[in-house]
A and B are shown apart, each in its own frame.
Chain A
Amino acid sequence: MNLLFRPSLRLLAVCLLAVPAARAQIRTYTVPKEPPPSAAPVSPTAPTPAPMANMADPMSGGQVPLPDASSRAVRWQTPPGWQELAPSSFRIGSFAIADPSGKKAEVAVTSFPGSVGSELSNVNRWRGELSLPPVEENAIASEPVTVDGVEGKLYDFSGGSARTIVADIPRLGISWFFKLRGDKEVVTSTRPAFLEFLRSVKFGGAPAAPAAAASMPAPETSAAGDAPRWNPPASWREQTAGPMVLKSYTAGADGAATVSISSFPGDVGGTLANVNRWRGQLGLAPITQADLPTAAKSINAGGGQGTLVDFTGVFAKTGKPARMVAAIVPVNGQMWFYKLVGDETAVGGEKDNFVKFVEGVQYH
């Protein structure tokens, strides 16, 4: 009996040990190069794709053509009476709605990676646009909405004579926002058409051709799409921009200060939240709305009013004393952020240049 047992148990032990062994091994192999997709057969010796380092950065210049309906990542049926406006680099879709009495509303379709902040911060941002007080998380009211099979949330806020209805649809790591905002009467009468519009939305579509943007010539001082034009001082040196930063420059002696420019739709939490975010970067305590008028000053920028702040503290990134001069400029429902940060002396020396630069930006 033992003669039968021993080989059987050995075989089983070998089999059981083989399970993990078969699952984690480094494989090394050689394969012919994969031809790129093509309607016609392609030679297997087709050149390899250009390395990323050689690719032109669409943010560094060039007029990126506006996407046409066939290449958009999302499609819809525009309800009658809605005037479709040209999309921007941030707005995938934009519509104007007006009633005979001249009251107006607009619909904006935007998308961003991730959750774009928490639900609470988004809701309070939308509420803030209507001058409504912020709410706690457990007081958030929403109703379910489905867009092209993707479940999301629909929010509805009314404040004063305005009303906002927003659909937040998280899909494949991207947050889609469909926002109807304007005079209360127009938004109320447009709500059924807006819901119908949401039902008509189809995600997908043909992939965009990145090479088209990469091959564009690069003018010196313009950003993508309908972004503004600016003229940086000759002493500033452009550097690789970080995530979500449109442009970045080094300034001051030995590049001891950095200028960065970014932009986001909406009010991005409002002026106070962003001022406190910057204060936090310098290890400073947050201020209240009442402190804002003394902590910030107004500047003329973009044909309207911007906010300029100047703080000194310890830069959290480096642990060294630093100074920050930053400006927020709201233009056409979009916030433009300009930040000069770095060594105290360098920032002090560049402040005038920076303010002149911000005031000189030409928005479309």
Chain B
Amino acid sequence: MIHRFISFISSLRLTVVCLCLAIALVFTGTIAQVYWGLYTVQSDFFRSFFVYWRPSGSGLKIPLLPGGWLLGSVLLINLLAAHIKRFKWTAKKTGIFMIHGGLVLLLVGQFFTELFQRESSMRIEVGQTKNYSEDNRKNELAIVDVTDPQKDMVVAIPESMVAQGGEIKAPALPFTIQVEKYLPNSTPAGPMSGGADKLKSADGIGQRLLFTAAARAARMDDEDRPAALVRLVSERGPIGEWIVSTWLSKYPYPQNLEENLGSLLGVSLSQPQQFTYGGRTYQIALRPIRYYEPYSVSLIEFKHEVYDGTDIPKNFASRVHLNNPSTGEDRDILIYMNNPLRYHGETFFQASFEPDDKGTILQVVKNPASPTPYIACLVIGFGLLVQFLMHLYTFATRRRPQAPAPAARRPLQKEPV
């Protein structure tokens, strides 16, 4: 039985089937991007074990295709299994080993990229100091105990847990969180707006600003803005219920809503929703995931230069001050287009800026596995070169013994008969 399994898992047939399925996955995924957008397809097709079909209203999940993770894992197992099964060290196969080693490194590197890569943004106004960046796409339900005048205690619950609904218990909180309703994408709504299932809460901003479900974002320049109705319940009974949404926490949505609707709503959207329980004060928000760093970055100056007489940008530059108490670093750095800051395993790119140039937006990319594709490509390229040279050598050395053959066809010398 085990031998049959090993034969199957190490077979070339499995490799071919996986490659064919990968072609089908890439093709369907590319087509699906038109309708569902890049990020949904990346998540549903390539960062999943299966691609599911969910017939509307049935609640069923029918697997249609193997997802990127499954295919990548099977290909990796297949490649390793084939090598382990047939492993026999010979100098002649050095190139092949290097090529396959490079492929393994590529797959493993991508696996670690999936696990550890993160892309976030750091938005800093002139004169402001930040020691965290915010994830570009992932959110968290943050309940922050702000009672202490010096520091905040944060309990951050991933949005994926909120999306599952039900009850969430965090050991650090003296109450439980009940997710009554979750909208993967939402839009603010007034009482006369369309949409039957509007979110409304008994406490906080949700008393006056309603939210209704919206179609998932499909464009590259768009994003989902989730909203949820959460109720906090203690042993003594309900504490209250609030609507949380990135509409109320992620720049520039609350600022934009407040500019346009502030006087109409009669509440401030730029202030966090806050409540008191057990003598402690808490804030609650669905916000982008925050990544705190042991160092801080201050924006000293932001420059936005345009070509004379036009609005066409010529240069964006942020002069920032880096302070890292743990290493004693305390220096100014200029970040501008194509000149990022690489520090502490992260790369800070000049990405955008705030209206009126009053602040900068830096894209912060962290990928500990980022060198692996380069190393893998070098190893594969070198392996191909070795393989080619070895074949060339063999070919060249095989021709040499045949050299005398033409001699046999030398013109006959005149010999005495």
Contacts and interface: CB of A to CB of B under 8 A. Distances in A.
Given A5-B6, A12-B73, A116 B355 contact: no
A55 B266 CA distance: 10
B192 interface: yes
A2 B263 CA distance: 72
Interface stretch (B80-88, B330-338, B386-394, B397-405): B80-88
Contacts of A213: 262-263
Contacts of A262: 191
B207 A242 contact: yes
B188 interface: yes
Given A114-B193, A173-B187, A242-B207, A206 B115 contact: no
Nearest to B147: A48
A226 B157 CA distance: 44
B341 interface: no
Given A28-B172, A41-B129, A52-B267, A115 B194 contact: yes
Interface string A1-32: 11011001100100110110011111111111
Interface string A46-60: 011111110101111
Contacts of B85: 1
A316 interface: no
Contacts of B208: 241-244
Interface residues of B, number: 87
- The CB with the most chain A CB atoms within 10 A, among B132, B150, B192, is that of B192
- The CB with the most chain B CB atoms within 10 A, among A33, A113, A213, A242, is that of A113
Given A1-B6, A5-B84, A24-B161, A115 B151 contact: no
A12 to B, nearest CB: 6
B395 to A, nearest CB: 34
B188 A37 contact: no
Nearest to A88: B263
Interface string B248-265: 000011011111111111
Contact of B261 (A51, A111, A264): A111
A16 B274 contact: no
Q: Give the contact-size bracket for chain A.
A: 35 or more
A295 to B, nearest CB: 21
B151 A32 contact: yes
Contacts of B273: 52
A89 B260 CA distance: 10
B149 A15 contact: no
Interface of B: 2, 6, 69, 73, 76-77, 80-81, 84-85, 87, 111, 114-115, 125-132, 140, 146, 149-158, 160-161, 168, 170-172, 187-195, 200, 204-205, 207-210, 212, 225, 247, 252-253, 255-268, 270-274, 276, 281, 292, 355-356, 358-359
13 contacts: A8-B84, A26-B158, A27-B155, A28-B172, A33-B149, A50-B271, A52-B205, A116-B190, A117-B192, A173-B187, A207-B259, A210-B268, A243-B191
